[in-house]
């Protein structure tokens, strides 16, 4: 009987990936860059024992009770397959009981899969005697990617992280650009809809290249990536902000024009985008928006401007809640278990 607990943050991609070169290995089509989120943490406890006869994953729900994750759901399938894969790699026959909880609403476009899958993979690796792999962050990031949510691989490091695309398993690893103390950036998430998202990322990646706006990674995305890395190095929000917005709009253009299309925005999404543009154009505050595969808006600014922006967002009637985030450390083992 052995329990292992791991905590991991979600992340917001400044340069996103949408579409894969190898769907079976979940390899992103282009390099992508993110920041970890201190207010969006998953905690996962894995118990491994020869006495456990069947793998179970239970996830804490909004009302505080635990619910069994179904093997038939998109996320459940990936999670149970990750258990099977790591068990096999470790040469074990033991089963596991897993419990997991998020500090934020799941499936609302806040990349709960990133924190969830990185925490699960970390706890499984340690549980099955692969602590060396957990400690080697480059190898760990590739293992996390294989769970089926490549963006989760960016959560293994703290702060600002780049996940490489490419064509092979070895090329597609994450690395840290700057740690969580490097730059006082803030991501204020304005939630406008906490319903489960209708189109999963997996379905979206598969449909991406049916869009006429699916851009050339080399000609269009690479210069944006270079500017983003430069902006992080120089802590230059005036350079970073336009890259973030340009990248968000490009991705949503692909989403909306894919076959079948995916529309994630809600009226509240546009209302928050307008708030951000008003604060920037009329109040002269350096603030920018980013939107993942969901309706909620990530509002990016420097810490010195966060309070005034948060207050402005709270005035918006379509904003349901605010989640305040600073860059934080990546996946880590902790000593307190969930059960």
Q: Which of 111, 156, 312, 319 binds ligand PMV (CB under 6 A)?
A: 111
Binding span for ligand PMV by CB under 6 A among 10-18, 189-197, 307-315, 329-337: 10-18
Question: Given CA atoms 62, 63, 64, 65 in this order, what sign does their dihedral have?
Answer: negative
State in angstroms the smallest separation of the CB of 167 from ligand PMV: 17
* Count of residues interacting with ligand PMV (CB under 6 A): 13
d(CA 58, CA 66): 6
CB atoms under 10 Å from CB of 236, counted, come to 14
State in angstroms the smallest separation of the CB of 179 from ligand PMV: 20
Q: Does 250 bind ligand PMV (CB under 6 A)?
A: no
Q: Does 201 bind ligand PMV (CB under 6 A)?
A: yes
State in angstroms the smallest separation of the CB of 113 from ligand PMV: 5
CB atoms under 10 Å from CB of 170, counted, come to 10
State in angstroms the smallest separation of the CB of 16 from ligand PMV: 4
Query: One symbol per residue from 276 to 305: x for binding ligand PMV (CB under 6 A), - otherwise; what is it?
Result: ----------------xx------------
State in angstroms the smallest separation of the CB of 223 from ligand PMV: 18
Binding span for ligand PMV by CB under 6 A among 66-74, 94-102, 148-156, 329-337: 148-156
State in angstroms the smallest separation of the CB of 303 from ligand PMV: 23
d(CA 208, CA 109): 18
Return the exposure string of 300-317: e unless at least 16 CB atoms fall within 10 Å of the residue's CB, then b.
bbbeebbeebbebbeebe
Considering the complex, state which of residue 128 and residue 264 has its C-beta at the smaller distance from ligand PMV: 264
d(CA 184, CA 181): 7
Q: Does 115 bind ligand PMV (CB under 6 A)?
A: no
Considering the complex, state which of residue 32 and residue 106 has its C-beta at the smaller distance from ligand PMV: 32
Residues at the site binding ligand PMV, with contacts judged by CB under 6 A: 13, 16-18, 32, 111, 113, 149-151, 201, 292-293
């Amino acid at each position: 009987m052995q329990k292992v607990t791991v905590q991991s943050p979600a992340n917001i991609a400044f340069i996103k990936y949408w579409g894969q070169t190898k769907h079976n290995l979940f390899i992103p089509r282009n390099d992508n860059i993110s920041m970890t989120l201190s207010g969006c943490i998953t905690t996962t406890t894995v118990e491994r024992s020869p006495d456990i006869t069947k793998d179970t994953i239970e996830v804490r729900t909004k009302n505080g009770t635990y619910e069994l994750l179904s093997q038939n759901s998109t996320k459940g399938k990936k999670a149970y397959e990750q258990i099977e894969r790591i068990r096999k790699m470790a040469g074990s026959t033991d089963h596991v009981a897993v419990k997991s909880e998020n500090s934020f609403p799941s499936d609302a476009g806040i990349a709960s899969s990133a924190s969830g899958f990185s925490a699960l993979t970390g706890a499984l690796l340690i549980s099955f005697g692969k602590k060396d792999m957990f400690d080697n962050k480059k190898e760990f990031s590739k293992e996390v990617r294989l769970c089926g949510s490549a963006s989760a691989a960016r959560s293994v490091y703290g702060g600002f992280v780049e996940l490489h695309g490419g064509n092979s398993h070895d090329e597609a690893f994450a690395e840290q650009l700057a740690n969580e103390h490097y730059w006082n950036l803030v991501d204020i998430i304005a939630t406008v809809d906490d319903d489960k998202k209708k189109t999963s990322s997996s379905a979206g990646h598969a449909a991406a290249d049916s869009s006429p706006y699916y851009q050339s990674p080399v000609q269009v995305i690479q210069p944006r990536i270079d500017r983003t890395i430069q902006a992080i190095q120089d802590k230059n929000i005036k350079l970073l902000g336009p890259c973030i917005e340009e990248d968000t709009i490009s991705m949503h253009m692909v989403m909306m024009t894919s076959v079948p299309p995916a529309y994630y925005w809600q009226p509240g999404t546009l209302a928050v985008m307008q708030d951000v543009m008003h604060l920037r154009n009329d109040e002269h505050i350096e603030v920018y928006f980013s939107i993942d595969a969901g309706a909620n808006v990530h509002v990016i600014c420097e810490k010195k401007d966060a309070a005034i922006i948060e207050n402005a967002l709270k005035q918006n009637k379509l904003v349901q809640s605010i989640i305040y985030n600073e860059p934080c450390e990546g996946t880590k083992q902790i000593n307190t278990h969930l059960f």
